[in-house]
Structure 1
Amino acid sequence: MRVRTGTGTATVLLVVSALFVPGCGTEASKDTGTAETGSTSKPAAGAGASADSGASTAEFSTVFNTEQKIQAALPDPASMKGWKPKTGRANVVEQPTPLAQCGADWECAAVANGSAKFEEVGETVIFRLHAFTDHPTAQDACRKEAAQTAKYTKASVAPLDGAESHAYYRNAGGLDGINVSLCLGTVVGRVTIEGGGSNLDPETAHSMARTLIDRVRTAAAAS
């Protein structure tokens, strides 16, 4: 899995538990097409399988600008029962680019980012977070991200209470995937479910997105 690096950054492993195995897989950087895949109903997996809490869109001001805060905001093995933890990363950007200089690059002004990857038979789920200095900057990043992904086929994932979201199908690195992007307070999150054996179930995508929202909200409240 790739985590954005470069001059002026420091990368650390997420130490969530002894079961959270660090690694350096490669995230496909270019799309190879767009594929919409039919889905069949199956039980939602992970701790996020519970119904939405009904909370309004989060407006918290917590800035996730340390490795520990990013770690706390990403799902851990305890919140992903039934899924095998594979890799995790947190990256703090010591010299983020000013928003005015970012143009269409919505990741440019992020002060930190992180990812966590889990697997079960036939499926992989990847959680990603990009953290910003404040809510307006995160909102700008969300608008840019939505504009960039508008070209993909829309996925029928139910709205998520507590976050602005949109879902879409894409094919990257030869793997079909369903993605849910989330705008939540000062962070932009994305949940990707992919794999050759996956049926890309929108209900599972919704469940995984709910898990990420709950983790971010809890981490924000604890800061």
Structure 2
Amino acid sequence: MVDKGGSDTVFRTEERFRQALPDPASMAGWTPRSANAEIEEAPEPAANCGPDADWYCARIARGEANFEAVGEEAQFDLTAFADRSAAQDACRKEKTWSAKYTEAQVPPVPGVDSHAYYRNAGGLDGLNLFMCTGTVVAQVLLEGEGSSLDPATAHSLAQLFASRIHKAAAAQ
């Protein structure tokens, strides 16, 4: 897998996550539901994860922000790793795992390696778009009963998210 951009900035603080995750000001027309960041106290070393482990095994932190609009929910998840190599390994594992689902035709997000697929879980249809950049794996999930799961909406939200991630990574 080719990492098309990003940086080696490690997202280890709640402040870094707040900078990267969409906020109410950036999500006009969407109602905020929740947001949080969780820094792992004792992260699993990548060497302990093995080839068959869950893709997020070696994460050092995770954050999310959730919004809703009429009949649809947008979830933004950001999973951080200690270095670019661990993030790329997680991306490979996630892409292999998700290959069993129907591919969603979402245009590529500039500056990141991305892929999208449809999945039904818990009675809700979802469009999952994963992005890999630098030391993070980011997900935009559109979900809902009767949701349009519009690839253009997923692409637009992913572009917003990728821009915020890159700005947060560049902040010192």
Q: TM-score range, shorter-chain basis?
A: over 0.9
Is the 1:107–1:130 contact (alpha carbons within 8 Å) kept by the matching residues of 2? yes
Which structure's residues are more often helix, by fraction? Answer: 2
1:95 equivalent in structure 2: 42
Q: Is contact 1:65–1:92 with CA below 8 Å preserved after alignment?
A: yes
Letter in 2 for 1:222: A
Question: Given that residues 59 and 135 in structure 1 are in contact (C-alpha distance below 8 angstroms), is that contact kept between their aligned partners in structure 2?
Answer: no
| 1:86 equivalent in structure 2 | 33
> Is it true that 1:69 corresponds to 2:16 in the alignment?
yes
Q: Percent identity?
A: 56
Residues 6-61 of structure 1 show CA distances to partners (whole Å, capped at 9, x for unaligned) of xxxxxxxxxxxxxxxxxxxxxxxxxxxxxxxxxxxxxxxxxxxxxxxxxx922311
Moved more, 56-65 or 184-193: 56-65
Instruction: Tell me the residue number matched to 1:10.
Output: none
Give the structure 2 partner of residue 125 of structure 1: 74
Partner of 1:165: 114
Contact preservation (8 Å) 1:91, 1:113: yes
Which aligned pairs between 1:22-37 and structure 2 lie closer than 5 A? Answer: none
1:114 aligns with 2:63: yes
Q: Does structure 2 retain, via aligned residues, the 8 Å contact 1:110–1:132?
A: yes
Partner SS for 1:170: strand
Given the two structures, how large is their TM-score scaled by the length of structure 1? Answer: 0.73
Instruction: Give the Cα separation in 1 of the matches to 2:124 and 2:37.
Output: 24
Unmatched segments (≥5 aa) in structure 1 = 1-55
Runs of 4+ in 1 over 6 A off after TM superposition: none
Structure 1 position 121, deviation (Å): 0.5
Distance in 2 (alpha carbons) for counterparts of 1:184 and 1:81: 25
Q: Decide which structure has the larger Cα Rg and report it.
A: 1
Query: Which structure 2 residues correspond to residues 1-223 of structure 1 after superposition, within 5 A?
Result: 57-103=4-50, 104-223=53-172
TM-score, reference length from structure 2: 0.95
Question: Post-superposition shift, 1:207?
Answer: 0.5
What code does the residue aligned with 1:192 have? L
Query: How many angstroms does 1:100 deviate by?
Result: 1.3
